[in-house]
Amino acid sequence: MKRTASAPGNPSTSHGNRDCRGKLRMTTRISHRSASAPGKIILTGEFAVVFGYPGIAVPSPLTMNVEIHDTRERCSFSNIRSKHDAEPGVVRRNGRSRVTLENQKDTKDLRIHWSEIAQKPEWQEYLKHIIARCGKCSGDLTIENNIPLQKGMGSSTALVIAVSRCLLGKDCREKALEIEDELNPGHSGLDFSVIWNNSPTLFQKDNQPETIKLPRNLLRNTMLIDTGAPNETTPELIAWITERREELEPALRTIGRCTEKLREGEDLGNVMREHHRAQVALGVVPESVQKLVEKIESSGGSAKIIGAGGRTGGGGMLLVLHEDRKKILRAVPTHFSILNV
Q: Please give the average per-residue pLDDT across 107-117, as a whole number.
A: 82
- At residue 72, the pLDDT reads 53
Statement to judge: residues 256 and 168 lie in one domain: no
Confidence of residue 151 (pLDDT cuts 50, 70, 90): confident
pLDDT tens, residue by residue, 250-264:
999 999 999 999 999
- At residue 341, the pLDDT reads 77
- At residue 32, the pLDDT reads 86
Confidence of residue 78 (pLDDT cuts 50, 70, 90): very low
Statement to judge: residues 314 and 185 lie in one domain: no
pLDDT tens, residue by residue, 13-58:
344 444 433 333 444 556 789 999 999 999 999 999 999 999 999 9
DSSP string, 216-275: TTTTTTEEEEE---BSS-HHHHHHHHHHTHHHHHHHHHHHHHHHHHHHTT--HHHHHHHH
Question: Does residue 6 lie in a domain region?
Answer: no
Q: What is the CATH number of the domain that holds 262?
A: 3.30.70.890
Bridge partner residues of 110 (DSSP): 139
Q: Above 90 in pLDDT, residue 87? A: no
Q: Whole-model pTM?
A: 0.78
Average pLDDT, the chain: 82
- At residue 189, the pLDDT reads 84
Confidence of residue 100 (pLDDT cuts 50, 70, 90): low
Statement to judge: residues 199 and 53 lie in one domain: yes
Question: Does residue 1 lie in a domain region?
Answer: no
Statement to judge: residues 18 and 155 lie in one domain: yes
Statement to judge: residues 158 and 272 lie in one domain: no
Residue 25's H or E segment, with its range, is strand 24-29
Higher pLDDT, 341 or 193: 193
Domain boundary among 158, 178, 211: 211
Range of the domain at 233: 222-340
Q: Looking at the 3D structure of the chain, how many domains does it have? A: 2
Domain boundary among 155, 187, 211: 211
Higher pLDDT, 9 or 208: 208
Residue type at 214?
L
Q: Please give the average per-residue pLDDT across 102-108, as a whole number.
A: 42
Q: Above 60 in pLDDT, residue 63? A: yes
Statement to judge: residues 194 and 232 lie in one domain: no
The span from the CA of 341 to the CA of 57, in Å, is 15
Statement to judge: residues 160 and 280 lie in one domain: no
